[in-house]
Structure 1
Amino acid sequence: MAELAALEVPGVREANRKRGDDHGVNLAALRAVARRLKTQQDLARDLWSTGDTAARLLALLISRPAAFEASELDAMLRQGREPKVHDWLVNYVVKKSPHAEQLRLAWTADPDPVVASAGWALTTERVAKKPVGLDLPALLSTIEAEMSDAPDRLQWAMNHTLAQIGIDHPEHRDRAIAIGERLGVLKDYPTPPNCTSPYAPAWIKEIVSRRSGA
């Protein structure tokens, strides 16, 4: 914990606070610590139990995803609500867990929008990598009905699923674009030059164009 405290960089905590995070750690330095420690599941659990955001981020980097039970991952998601912790937990641990599909189904239907957003993030992963068995038209219908009024984090996750369907599944591309145009979610999101807009119709068209070499 003392080593993690020493990694804090002046000004970073305030910048992160504006994004909903509560740490001031240099993440490149944090990753270097993780590389030195390598996988240590018991230490990961101890670090997570401190409740400290930097410690939890390090815990996720040195944990063994398959070692967590589904109930443990569910509890961790509900505890670690800071955006960076949430993102790393889902992407570095849950997606690699044998319980990912079980949690995807449970979380997508959860009334807590932060938990539901994790379910939609896992759904996006399946749309891209393991779409067999997914009801893509039903997903599009749910997005069409619910995305506009969803809280920010959930809306962002649903929008990602919408874009991924349009990008990876040509048979649903026109409908995905039409839904995005009708809802207008993130249409005016400020996007830096040379970056892809998160507005689904623009996002879909840009990635499809790149893949086709146009």
Structure 2
Amino acid sequence: MAETTVTEVLASLAALEDPKARAVNERHGDDHGVNLGKLRALAKQLKTQHDLAVRLWATGDTAARLLALLICRPKMYERDTLDGMLREARVPKVHDWLVSYVVKKSPHCEALRVAWFADTDPVVASAGWALTVDRVAKHPDGLDLDALLDRIEERMKDAPDRLQWAMNHCLAQIGISHPALRARAVDIGERLEVLKDYPTPPNCTSPFAPTWIAEIVRRQ
């Protein structure tokens, strides 16, 4: 589908609109009605088209933005462009995919992690924490893990939802990946009780950090 236009793509997305998918997505704060499996299939059909991705993002349409994140070239975005995209991305799935599929593959990833981590906007800060989770798991050299635990202990309990979720993930990851800090991570989780009563389906791991840590360590 070379030289595909934005109009053609929006028509394809409109044809995939499903009221049931919209109802499910909207429960998670995502304002679109496209099944994500079908969205990925469309992305596979389009293949990588960075210029089209840029134009799709500019529409502001949630499904179009999710598609854009699947067909773009992450390394072609400038740091300031990614920063602006994240600040526009208030829809949870767009925010998550932007961080996971684009920023993590960008040469600007670490600079953005540091900047976002310290941002006063809790949604932006949550992206900094999400990138920090990745560092904790894969490249912890240079991170002050004790200082991260101090910050989690001090701020996670009262943090807004998105930021709290990302901080809690970081707490669990420290406990999972760093045995020397595991007891402290579990202790913080037990005392703060963040997500302790989160409804967890059968066969899924609870996001309550002490339970999460214990389960993943047991599997290892």
Q: TM-score, normalised to structure 2's length? A: 0.95
Write the mapping of 1:177-188 to structure 2, written as runs, cut at 5 A: 177-188=186-197
Q: SS state of the match for residue 103, structure 1?
A: helix
Structure 2 match to 1:139: 148
1-structure distance, mates of 2:35, 2:201: 23
Structure 2 match to 1:203: 212
Q: Deviations over 1:115-171 (max 9, x none)?
A: 000000000000001000000000000000000000000000000000000000001
The amino acid across from 2:154 in the alignment is: A
Write the mapping of 1:115-126 to structure 2, written as runs, cut at 5 A: 115-126=124-135
Please list every run of at least 4 consecutive aligned residues from structure 1 whose deviation after the TM superposition is greater than 4 angstroms.
none
Q: Does 1:54 align with 2:66?
A: no
Q: TM-score, normalised to structure 1's length? A: 0.97
Quote the offset at 1:19 in angstroms: 1.3
1-structure distance, mates of 2:105, 2:90: 20
Q: Deviations over 1:26-60 (max 9, x none)?
A: 11111111111111110000000000000000000
Q: SS state of the match for residue 198, structure 1?
A: coil
Q: Deviations over 1:76-111 (max 9, x none)?
A: 001111011001000000011110100000001101
Structure 2 match to 1:25: 34
Counterpart among 81, 84, 90 of residue 93 in structure 2: 84
Q: SS state of the match for residue 140, structure 2?
A: coil
Counterpart among 38, 45, 48 of residue 54 in structure 2: 45
1-structure distance, mates of 2:76, 2:29: 29
Quote the offset at 1:193 in angstroms: 1.0
2-structure distance, mates of 1:186, 1:30: 31
Q: How many residues align?
A: 211
Q: Does 1:192 align with 2:201?
A: yes
Q: Does 1:99 align with 2:70?
A: no
Q: Percent identity?
A: 72
